[in-house]
Amino acid sequence: MMKQALDGLKVVDFSWYIAGPSITMWLAYHGSQVIRIESLTRPDELRSIEPFKDGIAGVNRSGCYANYNSNKYGLSLNLNHSKGVMVARRLIAWADVVVENFTPGTMEAKWGLGYDSARKMKPDIIMLSSSTQGQTGPEAKQAGFGLELASRSGFTNFVGWPDQDATGVGYPYTDTITPPVGVIAIMAALEYLRRTGKGQYIDLSQLEVGVNHLGVALLNYAVNGTQGGRIGNRHPCAAPHGAYRCLGKDRWCTIAVFTDQEWEAFCTAIGQSSLCNNPKFATMLARKTNEEELGRLVENWTQRFTAEEVMMKMQAAGIAAGIVQSGKDLIEDPQLKHRHHFWYLNHPEMGLCAYDGPPFRLSATPAELYMPAPILGEHNEYVCTQLLGMSDQEFLELLTEGVFE
């Protein structure tokens, strides 16, 4: 392995589910030494989330967990044991960065491991807390998950069909948009540390990250008093605009036409140039007025071709179009293969599995995925004896006392 951008950075990860572990995943991809803290009695619940390799459930068989925890060392630690807390304190003293995403106050109140205590152990420590609504405020201590926050931050209001009830986004969306913000914050804190020798605390609110992604909707309400809402696959400034059924079972292609010039190109591409002069569709206003009929017309054409054929015909004409890809499509996608997006690592229980790599490349220090997600407690001995410097006797004593449960 070549030298990585974050070689030498030491990180302790007390977080769970997706938001916190994804932050440390990005750091691990670029050379950070990340120790993932869990408990045998209460492991990360992401380990219980499908899909499971070969359909066989197991604490070490979740593809979802594996995808967010590669390149990390796994330590099972009983923080409800006084000596477990002692080990955690030694880890913090060893670390440069600590990440956690418990309900605000939990780290300090339960274990005395909050930022004020942490900086006594390590004065220049950087600590990031990724909570649902931040560490302060009347609802700060309210527990929650990304799926709820997707609604709380407004996304659910804009997802779905106008004549149907709210459907939600089907995924803990804020868990996936928060981590890049967390990584940027850590990078800023590391630069501050480099210049001043001082660490700091990062209070990251997933709710506020979500709200930041709806700037247009907020501006529309603030300026125009318009609340907006669900419009399905349509767009206020484009027609046709949507996902259209294609040849084959559950195969779709999205198409987006924004200008009259694109509309003319679209009509030519589908072999119906006369539509350009049809008063129902000749202008954007006319196409929006007759959007239902237009949608049927488009789908009557797309259903004659495969999704791939539709996409290629549209793109050749300069029209924005893309296949609605399945998991199989993504794994086989030639562009993703060329970019080496998926990395294949040999997991102790699941065998060879595909892992998402980072979507950017550093020319001098590209990311490297070299170690699959840890099985529960896999690196207990290594972390304690090699990284923390415990003697074999001390480690065995703590093991016997139930510290690593």
Nearest CA to 362 among 117, 3, 108?
3
User: Radius of gyration of the chain from Cα atoms?
Assistant: 25
Nearest CA to 181 among 218, 141, 216, 130?
130
Cα-based distances in Å from 352 to 25, 53, 150: 19, 10, 33
**Burial readout 361-373 (b: 16 or more C-beta within 10 A, e: otherwise):** eeeeebbbbebbb
CA distance 148 to 171: 10
Catalytic annotation, pick one of 13, 124, 175, 392 = 175
Q: Is 167 helix (H, G, I), strand (E, B) or coil?
A: coil
Total number of residues shown for the chain: 405
Q: What are the φ/ψ torsions at residue 25 (nearest 5 degrees)? A: -60, -45
Summary count for the chain: helices (H), strands (E):
17, 11
Sequence-distant (≥ 6) Cβ neighbours of residue 291 within 8 angstroms? 234, 239, 240
Burial (CB count within 10 angstroms: exposed 0-12, middle 13-18, buried 19+), residue 389: exposed
Tokens of 147: 């799926």
**Whether residue 175 lies in the annotated active site:** yes
Burial (CB count within 10 angstroms: exposed 0-12, middle 13-18, buried 19+), residue 174: buried
* Catalytic annotation, residues: 175
